[in-house]
Homo-oligomer: A and B are copies of this chain.
Amino acid sequence: MSVGLKALPQLLAVTGVSLGTASAGIRQKNRDDVTIISCHPGTAISVVFTQNRFLAAPVLVAKKHLGQSSPRALIINSGNANAGTGEQGIEDALSCCAELAQHLQCSDYEILPFSTGVIGEPLPVDQIRKAIPECISDLSEENWPAAARSIMTTDTVAKGVCQQLNINGETVTITGIAKGAGMIHPNMATLLTFIATDATIEKTVLDAMLAYCVGRSFNRITVDGDTSTNDACVLMATGSRAGAKITQTGDKNGKAFMSVLLQVFKELAQAIIRDAEGATKFITIEVVDGRDEEDCLQVARSVALSPLVKTAFFASDPNWGRILAAIGYAPIAELDISKVSIALNDVMVLKDGALASSYTEEQGQAVMQHEEITVRISLGQGQSQARIWTSDLSHDYVSINSEYRS
């Protein structure tokens, strides 16, 4: 199940970006598992990759190709991560790139490969190569929904977001899709995200935008603390709207665009948490009044990662003692317990280190029935704040991860 996730909204075309999908039967028959995203020449592309030291073969190849050339197309397969596959894995990723390059009549370097799924099994490269012609004949600017479905693994719903805004009198579209449900943690977990806009943005500016938005969206979600070997987030700007030119992040146009872009990133990141493996609750951990943002993030992470806190949320148990304990072991330099307050949505639970006089167990029980809960922790030390999103820890999480090989 997922928490508060609606069906895929309308995903508008981004002029200059075409998508095609096909079935290679990698793990399941009768579902598309290979996706090609092709962008017209001159598209600026920025990519952020996982910080795991064990980089999957496609990540190694994509990083190398990015250093050689500007990409023309992406090839994504689900069902197999091509990770822990050694030299053979690299050859397999290169082989997929070569096949696609031949069809598109471009250089191998102009293709970026992405894989997600089971770790440690050989990529069924022949099946994928055979599916490429069908992907190509399927290429269309209207295919964002099919691509959103094709990249799924343990996701229960396809995830996409679309926003429009006006820049210099031109309507600019931002459309993005994402997949990921487990092995989710800051610094890119098992998630792939592809976001495109038809605005005109130079690569250096696009790089800055991607770093900013990832830092405040995908690096602020955690399901289980695991950072995977394959994650990537791709941001493309086709420049099809020549008048909608954004030359810096700090001016009026830049700020307007960034604000909407960040919204798209946040909604996609939150969609991943809403569909987290076994999730029954969507939990926002908001830490305020900290000395600096990093302190707030450390406290938020301690709480968000605590299995005891997460199982209490699953049980709808207002077990604030576990939240308190998790705050207490956050690795921050100073913590004055007598200044710490905790609220669950609008229910004040702990005030200045002690149970709030207004708090009743009935209030706590009632607020824990909600599907969406904000844990607001005030450290009483300063003006900084940070927010991260997480899910609860349920029986289904254990079932999914003991039955599925990721």
Q: Which residues of A contact B (CB under 8 A)?
A: 51-55, 81, 83-87, 118-120, 182-183, 185, 187, 224-229, 305-308, 311-312, 314-315, 317, 319-322, 324-330, 335, 337, 350, 353-355, 393-395, 397-399, 401-403, 405-406
Contacts and interface: CB of A to CB of B under 8 A. Distances in A.
A119 B53 contact: no
A330 to B, nearest CB: 8
B399 A395 contact: yes
A225 B54 contact: no
Contacts of A54: 324-325, 327-328, 337
8 contacts: A52-B325, A83-B321, A84-B320, A86-B353, A119-B321, A120-B355, A319-B406, A321-B406
A312 B86 contact: no
A328 B229 contact: yes
B226 A329 contact: yes
* Max count, chain B CB within 10 A of own CB: residue among A51, A395, A402, A405: A402
Contact of A397 (B86, B307, B319): B307
Given A53-B335, A306-B226, A398 B398 contact: yes
A276 to B, nearest CB: 12
Contacts of A399: 395
**Closest CB pairs A-B (n = 9):** A119-B321, A54-B328, A315-B402, A86-B354, A311-B401, A120-B321, A52-B328, A224-B307, A227-B329
A325 B52 CA distance: 7
Contacts of A52: 325, 328-329
B354 A87 contact: yes
A305 B224 CA distance: 10
Nearest to A187: B329
Contacts of A325: 52, 54, 83, 119, 183, 226-229
Contact of A84 (B226, B307, B350, B402): B350
A29 B228 CA distance: 48
Given A84-B350, A226-B308, A402 B326 contact: no
Contacts of A227: 325, 328-329
Nearest to A185: B329
A328 B406 CA distance: 15
Contact of A355 (B86, B118, B326): B86
Nearest to A354: B86
Contacts of A224: 306-308
Contacts of A182: 308
Contacts of A87: 354
Given A187-B329, A322-B406, 12 more contacts: A52-B325, A53-B335, A54-B327, A54-B328, A84-B320, A119-B321, A120-B319, A183-B308, A225-B306, A307-B393, A308-B406, A321-B405
A317 B403 CA distance: 9
Contact of A81 (B321, B393, B403): B321
B311 A398 contact: yes
* Max count, chain B CB within 10 A of own CB: residue among A118, A225, A322, A329: A329
A188 to B, nearest CB: 10
A404 to B, nearest CB: 9
B120 A320 contact: yes
A333 to B, nearest CB: 11
B395 A321 contact: no
A402 B354 contact: no
B307 A401 contact: yes
Contacts of A120: 319-321, 324, 355
Nearest to A393: B398
* Max count, chain B CB within 10 A of own CB: residue among A51, A225, A328: A328
A265 to B, nearest CB: 22
